[in-house]
Chains A and B, each alone.
Chain A
């Protein structure tokens, strides 16, 4: 399996070249890759249907316990077949839909990449690989939504999807780490058997919240549902693939996959049920408020995802069975309807359904496909959608009538939407048929037609095709083997009457919608202030905040930088001294004054007037002269206290500085006071504070004896090891020779810099 997936991954990167080289016929290869994968995964069907699990393990990062672990059971196989099967159709559909698009080759690459990531996600048996693939699907989704990157809305929506799912991904990672700690394993098959250990762990609640955040953002659950309708900025093939059949179901997959490990505590069931039902209702309601076909479909997808989540939340055998059937049914009809919407958009140039009328003559095949899909969506008898709805009602009826009533309302909305999609646009002849830009293309109608036929065949013969694999998927979700039988006809049960009632109510709702189309004003206001608005407020706030922060910190004024650095240092020093250090014994220190010799006093008395002069003078020459007084004094001090080398160096440097100053003096700016008096007071305060702190630190340090083995070491070894009698010299050129080399390099760089500055020729503009 590794080779198949790796080969597809490598192929993804050469897909654009294949497209360029093979042109029109390249589609055989592009669609061929998912087809081969589909066939490959289908070969596992006989074994997996018997309840066997196929595994393949490669050690990837053994030290971290990360394995490339392929784990193929019923649930994973169901998803791989969906992903690769849809992949084939979508590749073909994209080749027709974007026939003249220059970016088609790129789109193939992203689609293939996405497919590989998705396959990796559903077959991964290790949390780390799950996470990596999870993030890959987010990234490829970003690239795919932003396919028409010339449009600002497309870029914005792509970024939104990336940020929302990416943040969810981060939460998921944290959740996985907690799960790994609680379950003492990162391997999914092991975790699945440790339900007790995990659900009784003290980490359970934070872990659950984080994992649910990841799943809910990915699967567009309330309140993160807003990114999915915006993601409709993507080209329709992408919407059909990612945002109906596969990527948004990744969250569902994750919940179903981890359900045996995490389910049990009330908080799991309750949260999933409440969030799922809320999302289902909200999505259905919002779908009816829109007139853009893709927006309607996007909101019904949100709603369907909500239903799936709520079914996982219920967690009963019946609920999980209906979950897997509904998952398949939804993928089939929603993918088909998205393609239908794309065909209409392609041919008519609009997706506003009130503008579309009687298209069946011009787009016959698309119309038939739309009808098939819509009938399945509405849950009409021979279709798989019917079976799904029957099971849904049965599962919900078994739990509570409130939940059943809510599901009923959602289903009624689906019927209304299905009527719009399958009937209103194509067969309803209220006025003149809409004029199309071009006739419907038969080739573009094939993929949705195939999906529609699948929905019909699976519905007519559920036992033959889908029941065994769905049964295994349900067993994997429940964590135990169950009997699973699917049949079309359940007899005249109450649930059947409820189905009939649903369809009638849905058609009634449709006719009401036809008469009254104005959106409700108050609700419009509410949408405008929904989570989408919050997202933009947060995003803009973040950007503005960053701008303010940068403007404050990076203000471009040297003195403010320095002042803030100095003040921070002083604050830290004083804080430490205040809490951790002994107090200064000044009394002892004063006695030390007697030790100061006469000539030392003389030197000090030389420094004080020099500093005074330096601050007061307005002459540059005086300033330099007084500065050198201080420098020479320091050099004398070094000499007096046993450092003749430093004294000599200081003397030399001081002299050189004066020479350089004098050499460039006539080029230097005039000496004047630029700073206002009140600012100067601030400076004085900061400076005095800093000077006083340094004095205090120094006095404090000198209160303690210096314990240094280095002095002795160098004293002992300078001659014996370094063959030199001047210890300082030996340190510099022998013991620490590399430091000195570095120092020389610094000087050389400075010299080069000075040379470059002096030789630099200014252009004329700069002189002016």
Chain B
């Protein structure tokens, strides 16, 4: 699996970035979620894969017994996933509100939401 996961991760990175680069709000959110997934997998893979072997101390023992997975990347990941979820939820609601307020689904239209500013030259 060590050989396959890097490719999956790269694929998810590429897809996520590709979606983020679009102007559409909805794709932006999908892209952010995918990008987050890819990052998590990246950290997970870098922490080495161990089949089975959860980082849990067995009954009757006071210390963990090999083989068990590295708990450090797991702790990082847990934090990352939860924070990522906070961002996702916020982004989804934000997009909804922006869509309601401005009636557009195009990121570029948000360049100048202030009324006084001169329209941009492109």
Interface residues, chain A, CB within 8 Å of chain B?
556-559, 562-563, 566, 589-590, 592-593, 595-597, 600, 604, 607-608, 611, 614-615, 620, 623, 627, 630-631, 634, 637-638, 640-646, 649-650, 653, 656-657, 660-661, 664, 667-675, 683-684, 686-688, 690-696, 698-699, 701-702, 706, 708, 710-711, 714-716, 718-720, 725-728, 731-732, 736, 739-740, 743, 746-747, 750-751, 753-754, 757-758, 760, 762, 766-767
B15 lies within 8 A of A614 (CB): yes
Top 6 nearest A-B pairs by Cβ distance? Answer: A691-B14, A669-B105, A695-B10, A642-B69, A715-B64, A750-B86
Using CB atoms, name the residue of chain B closest to A684: B18
Chain B residues with CB under 8 Å of A644's CB are 54
Other than A683-B22, A757-B97, give 15 A-B pairs with Cβ distance below 8 A.
A557-B111, A607-B8, A650-B40, A660-B93, A667-B96, A671-B26, A687-B14, A715-B57, A716-B63, A718-B64, A718-B71, A719-B62, A740-B79, A750-B86, A757-B90
A719 lies within 8 A of B37 (CB): no
Cα A675 to Cα B18 with chains together (Å): 12
Query: Total contacts A to B, CB within 8 angstroms?
Result: 288
Q: 8 Å CB contacts to A: which residues of B1-18?
A: 1-15, 17-18
Q: With A556-B120, A644-B54, A711-B72 as given contacts, are A669 and B17 in contact (CB-CB < 8 Å)?
A: no
Chain A residues with CB under 8 Å of B97's CB are 757-758, 760
B50 lies within 8 A of A642 (CB): yes
Q: 8 Å CB contacts to A: which residues of B76-114?
A: 77-79, 81-90, 92-97, 99-102, 104-108, 111-112
B70 lies within 8 A of A711 (CB): yes
Chain B residues with CB under 8 Å of A727's CB are 55-57, 64, 68, 71
Majority DSSP secondary structure for residues of A touching B:
helix
Majority DSSP secondary structure for residues of B touching A:
helix
Chain B residues with CB under 8 Å of A684's CB are 18
Chain A residues with CB under 8 Å of B22's CB are 559, 674-675, 683
Using CB atoms, name the residue of chain A closest to B111: A556
A600 lies within 8 A of B4 (CB): yes
Chain A residues with CB under 8 Å of B86's CB are 746-747, 750-751
Q: With A720-B63, A728-B75, A766-B101 as given contacts, are A627 and B17 in contact (CB-CB < 8 Å)?
A: no
Q: With A657-B33, A708-B72, A746-B83 as given contacts, are A596 and B89 in contact (CB-CB < 8 Å)?
A: no
Contact of B3 among A556, A593, A667, A740 (CB under 8 A): A593
B15 lies within 8 A of A687 (CB): yes
B96 lies within 8 A of A664 (CB): yes
Using CB atoms, name the residue of chain A closest to B22: A675
Chain B residues with CB under 8 Å of A669's CB are 24-26, 95, 99, 104-105
Cα A125 to Cα B73 with chains together (Å): 61
B87 lies within 8 A of A701 (CB): no
Cα A650 to Cα B82 with chains together (Å): 9
Using CB atoms, name the residue of chain A closest to B61: A719
B37 lies within 8 A of A630 (CB): yes
- 29 A-B pairs with C-beta separation under 8 A: A556-B112, A559-B23, A615-B18, A634-B37, A637-B41, A642-B53, A643-B44, A643-B77, A669-B25, A674-B106, A683-B22, A686-B17, A687-B14, A687-B21, A694-B6, A694-B10, A698-B9, A714-B64, A715-B68, A716-B63, A719-B62, A725-B56, A727-B56, A727-B68, A740-B79, A750-B86, A751-B86, A754-B90, A757-B97
